[in-house]
Amino acid sequence: MSYLDNVRTFVRVYELGSMSAAGRDLRVSPAVTSSRISQLEQHLGVRLFQRTTRSLTPTEQGKAFYGGACEILESVDAAEAQVVDITENPRGSLFVAAPLGVGRRLIAPQIAGFLALYPDISLRLRLTDRKVDLTTEGLDLAFFLGQPEDSNLRIRKISDVTRVLCAAPAYLAQRGHPDTAQDLIDGKHECLNLRFPGATEFQWRLMTPDGPRKFPVSGRFESDDGDVLTDWAVAGCGIAMKPLFEVAEHIKAGRLVPVATQNPPEPIQMACLFAHRRRQDPKTRLFMEYVIERIGKAIQNSALPD
């Protein structure tokens, strides 16, 4: 398997642009990563990367080899997947990403049950509200809310997610209860905003009699963690736009109150994102089906899974 290890290492170095980053992704030392690349270059009789103390760039030979290397790995993965399907004994590692709120409330609670069914599978779960890149980060599967930008990836829709604008009773007692979207943009209210890298302005897409419309909102509170926005809303700091399943318990308990109900947020899609070849992997397919079956109804009912 050493040649395949070398090819797999080359692909990750090429995609990540760094020996050390590829080593971390593959869980091997930088020395092992460098050694594998050197062995591959010696085998091929060419240099695959130009190395300096500050940069690493693929040579023309490296660029030409990358496409074929990906095909080699995809063929091996497909062949192994067929064997696994026959033996009904899926094995290997899964690397899954999800937004913080979705991951904590819906995905993480399902993992123990899934791994109990498939003891030869291990799973890494990354929770982040930032956008992820399946290719460069080596992900098998990513759950997301919204619409992805990369059309080369495959999407499996799970559900449309109801969202709600909400605030604490203490905040509403002090600042007033907004009934419409217009009430939110007159400068009288603090809107709690999810800040992504590169965001220059905040707009909430709300429903109107003429259809969905973007409304510019402002506020002094920003975070890249959706649960922080929930905590701020419960503490009376302002108004948050949240998926209903994330704040349903707070609303039932009276800690949060829906506002601007005449112009509710447009529902948002929840789905799985995966590369085409990942879908051929039985463990990826099994995990996706296992999770979707258990969380789809929970999302529709704005309740957490048992």
Q: Which helix (H) or strand (E) holds 57?
A: strand 56-58
Q: List every span in the chain annotated with CATH 1.10.10.10.
A: 2-82
Bridge partners of 265, per DSSP, are 206
| Token pair belonging to 228 | 């922080």
Q: Which residue has the tokens 């890249």?
A: 224
What is the model's pLDDT at position 177?
A: 92
Q: Locate CATH 3.40.190.10 in the chain.
A: 89-159+269-300, 163-266
Instruction: Identify the CATH number of the domain defined by range 89-159+269-300.
Output: 3.40.190.10
Best mean pLDDT range from 79-83, 129-133, 229-233 = 229-233
The Cα–Cα gap between 253 and 202 comes to 29
Torsion sign, CA atoms 295, 297, 300, 301: negative
Query: % helix / strand / coil in the chain, to the nearest 5?
Result: 45, 25, 30
Of 303, 297, 273, nearest to 142 (Cα)?
273
pLDDT of amino acid 92: 85
Closest CA to 236 of 222, 220, 256, 251: 256
- What would the pLDDT profile of 40-75 be if each residue is shown by its tens digit? 889 989 999 988 877 888 999 989 899 888 888 888
User: CB-hemisphere CA count at 13 Å for 51?
Assistant: 11
Across the chain, mean pLDDT equals: 85
Tell me the percentage of the chain whose pLDDT exceeds 70.
88
CATH annotation of 163-266 = 3.40.190.10
Q: Looking at residues 166-181, what average pLDDT do you find?
A: 94
pLDDT higher at 53 or 225: 225
For the chain, what's the residue count? Answer: 306
Q: Select the more confidently predicted residue: 131 or 64.
A: 64
Among 226, 249, 221, 240, residue whose Cα is nearest residue 100: 226
As a whole number of angstroms, the distance between CA 197 and CA 41 comes to 38
Distance CA 127, CA 231 (A): 18
**Per-residue pLDDT at 83:** 64
Does domain 2-82 match CATH 1.10.10.10? yes
Q: What pLDDT does 304 receive?
A: 39
Rounded to whole angstroms, the Cα distance separating 183 from 198 reads: 27
pTM for this predicted structure: 0.66
pLDDT at 186 over 60: yes
- Mean pLDDT to the nearest integer, 229-251: 94
What average pLDDT does this structure show over 264-281?
Answer: 78
pLDDT digits (tens, 9 = 90+) for 75-126: 887 776 666 554 567 888 899 999 888 898 899 999 999 999 999 899 999 9
Predicted local distance difference test score (pLDDT) of residue 305: 41
Least trusted range by pLDDT, from 62-71, 156-165, 297-306:
297-306
| pLDDT for residue 169 is more than 70 | yes
| Contacts for 201-210: CB closer than 8 Å, 24+ residues apart | 204/165, 204/241, 204/265, 205/265, 205/266, 206/181, 206/260, 206/263, 206/264, 206/265, 206/266, 207/263, 207/264, 207/265, 207/266, 208/181, 208/263
